[in-house]
């Protein structure tokens, strides 16, 4: 079984250490994503907050790109920003301070809030920590101790568990098929209610939007990235999901007068997957107020359906798993048809 890598946001401007430390950590199952200054790291954290499992801060570093590295200013501002980000996301990522020590850093203890004791308070009584410091020195022994503690205290967020523990194969398929980053984020939204029910309930409008958006992005990749579907399915720069799902199911695409617009050329996917996707589009299509989409009869009943099932989302949850099935099958198709130019020949008119 593939080892789950613990993703660590790391801020340090030492060029030598930025080469050596990630190598040391990788062998212990930690992936260190390094940044030279805080503002650069903060952008990454804000963009992908749920991807990080721990944070390591140098004691003496740059807050902004052109700053002089100063211990007290850096730690005070960075930890203040972290507190704000944690509050906004309703989740604390365990953080640690790694220092060179010595007179150039000075006594940084007063800059480190005692809140870290919640997850790492026993470090101050560790046999390696003769100074009872609230931070780690950049010695071989203390670096190893830090990595071991991060592993021991690893507590992945619910969203991380979805991606790395419960459905790692599906999210690998998303990467392999070069799908838009929205697909990964929205699929997590869809899968969360299955495994981690929210006391505040879920927004079925958002979940139905997520279904539609995932299918839209996937169809677009099949057409534009892999040339697995004919380009005629894109009209006025928009993908006609109804037409595409029919074609995927091995059905001729017809206009409202019954005239065949695009002739079917057999099933792109197996019939079960194709029909499942078609049914999803039929049901969620107009519920999310899509424009330029034909009025599908099932969609107008979706709100009424939610009311009849006490506003539960079991139908949406079943669609989430069908999408996983769809993505896994697409990965196999891409692996067997990696040459987009050869794929495109199937749709060229002679």
The contacts of residue 266 (CB under 8 Å, 6+ apart) are 250
Residues 191 and 67 in one domain: no
Q: Is 319:187 a contact under the CB 8 Å cutoff?
A: no
Residues 74 and 175 in one domain: no
Residues 125 and 197 in one domain: no
Q: The CATH number of the domain where 89 resides is what?
A: 3.40.50.2300
pLDDT value of position 292: 42
CB burial of residue 33 (10 Å; 0-12, 13-18, 19+):
middle
Q: Is residue 33 part of a domain?
A: yes
The contacts of residue 194 (CB under 8 Å, 6+ apart) are 317, 320, 321
Residues 204 and 309 in one domain: yes
The contacts of residue 258 (CB under 8 Å, 6+ apart) are none
Q: Is residue 1 part of a domain?
A: no
Host domain of residue 220: 158-347
Residues 204 and 292 in one domain: yes
Residues 147 and 172 in one domain: no
Number of domains within the chain: 2
Q: Is residue 100 part of a domain?
A: yes
DSSP E strand stretches across the chain? 6-11, 30-35, 54-58, 95-99, 136-137, 234-235, 238-239, 253-254, 260-262
Residues 219 and 89 in one domain: no
How far is it, in rounded angstroms, from Cα 259 to Cα 120? 69
Which residue, among 58, 54, 39, has the nearest Cα to 108 in the 3D structure?
58
Q: Is 205:313 a contact under the CB 8 Å cutoff?
A: no
Give the residue from 98, 129, 152 where a domain finishes. Answer: 152
Q: Is 278:338 a contact under the CB 8 Å cutoff?
A: no
Residues 48 and 124 in one domain: yes
Residues 170 and 147 in one domain: no
pLDDT value of position 288: 45
Residues 310 and 294 in one domain: yes
What pTM does this model have? 0.72
CB burial of residue 90 (10 Å; 0-12, 13-18, 19+):
exposed
Residue 213, SS3? helix
Token pair belonging to 117 = 């004791």
Chain position carrying tokens 């700053």: 67
What are the residues facing 7 on neighbouring strands?
31
Average pLDDT, the chain: 86
Q: Is residue 167 part of a domain?
A: yes
Residues 180 and 139 in one domain: no
pLDDT value of position 190: 93
Give the residue from 120, 152, 184 where a domain finishes. Answer: 152
Note the maximum CA span of the chain: 83
Chain-centre distance for alpha carbon 326: 18
Q: Is residue 245 part of a domain?
A: yes
How far is it, in rounded angstroms, from Cα 247 to Cα 228? 11
Q: Is residue 301 part of a domain?
A: yes
Q: How many C-beta atoms lie closer than 10 Å to residue 282's C-beta?
A: 17
Token pair belonging to 307 = 């009311």
Give the residue from 92, 125, 152 where a domain finishes. Answer: 152
Q: Is residue 19 part of a domain?
A: yes
How far is it, in rounded angstroms, from Cα 284 to Cα 76? 48
Residues 240 and 343 in one domain: yes
Q: Is 34:22 a contact under the CB 8 Å cutoff?
A: yes
Q: Is residue 278 part of a domain?
A: yes
- Ranges of the chain with pLDDT below 50: 1-2, 199, 288-299, 350
């Amino acid at each position: 079984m593939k080892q789950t890598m613990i993703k660590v946001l790391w801020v340090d401007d030492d060029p030598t250490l930025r080469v050596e430390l990630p190598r040391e950590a990788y062998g212990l199952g930690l992936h260190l994503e390094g940044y030279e200054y805080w503002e650069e790291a903060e952008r990454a954290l804000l963009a992908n907050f749920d991807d990080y499992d721990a944070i390591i801060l140098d004691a003496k570093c740059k807050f902004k790109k052109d700053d002089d590295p100063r211990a007290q200013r850096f730690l005070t501002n960075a930890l203040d920003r972290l507190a704000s980000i944690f509050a906004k996301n309703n989740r604390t990522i365990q953080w640690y301070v790694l220092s060179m020590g010595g007179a150039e850093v000075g006594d940084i203890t007063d800059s480190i809030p005692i809140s870290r004791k919640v997850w790492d308070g026993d470090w101050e009584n560790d046999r390696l920590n003769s100074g009872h410091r609230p931070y780690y020195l950049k010695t071989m022994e203390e670096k190893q101790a830090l990595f071991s503690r991060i592993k021991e205290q690893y507590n992945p967020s619910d969203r991380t568990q979805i991606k790395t523990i419960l459905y790692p194969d599906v999210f690998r398929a998303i990467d392999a098929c070069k799908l838009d980053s929205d697909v990964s984020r929205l699929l997590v939204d869809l899968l969360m209610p299955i495994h981690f029910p929210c006391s505040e309930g879920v927004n079925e409008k958002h979940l139905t939007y997520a279904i539609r958006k995932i299918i839209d992005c996937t169809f677009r990749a099949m057409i534009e990235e892999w040339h697995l579907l004919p380009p005629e399915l894109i009209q006025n720069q928009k993908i006609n999901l109804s037409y595409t799902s029919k074609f995927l199911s091995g059905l001729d695409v017809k206009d409202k007068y019954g005239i065949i617009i695009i002739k079917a050329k057999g099933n792109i996917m197996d019939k079960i997957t194709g029909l499942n996707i078609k049914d999803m589009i039929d049901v969620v299509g107009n519920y999310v107020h899509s424009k330029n989409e034909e009025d599908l009869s099932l969609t107008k009943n979706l709100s009424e359906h939610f009311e009849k099932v006490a506003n539960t989302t079991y139908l949406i949850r079943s669609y989430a798993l069908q999408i996983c099935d769809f993505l896994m099958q697409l990965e196999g198709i891409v692996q067997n048809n990696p040459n987009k130019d050869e794929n495109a020949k199937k749709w060229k008119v002679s």
